Amino acid sequence: MGSETKKDELRLVQIENRQLKETISTLRQVLEKTEIKNKENIQTALVVAGNEIEQLKATIRTLRDTLESGKAVFEDKIQALGRSTSDEINQLQQTIVNLRQQLENRDDKH
């Protein structure tokens, strides 16, 4: 009977060994699938981040162009206002000269 018991124990050890090998194989497959999935997720995240960066760059370019355009319009308005103010000052100065002359002519007549 001792020999039978050892054979049974050997069979049990062999069965357990086979089950452990199958478990290792299954875990290895799960690990490989997980690694592949992780790599795919990283790649997807990189693509998404790259797309977002490009969109942000485009937004920055658009905003910069809008700002520069607005600055040019503002500078044009400032220059026009400066010319208008200068013209008005010249007209007022000419009016003052004319009024002085009229006053002087009036005083000369009286």
HEC states along 70-100?
A: HHHHHHHHHHHHHHHHHHHHHHHHHHHHHHH
SS3 102: helix
Residue 2 has pLDDT above 80, yes or no: no
The reported pTM is 0.56
The 10s digit of each residue's pLDDT in 96-108 is 999 999 988 887 7
pLDDT of residue 1: 56
Q: How many CB atoms lie within 10 A of CB 96?
A: 10
The 10s digit of each residue's pLDDT in 54-95 is 999 999 999 999 999 999 999 999 999 999 999 999 999 999
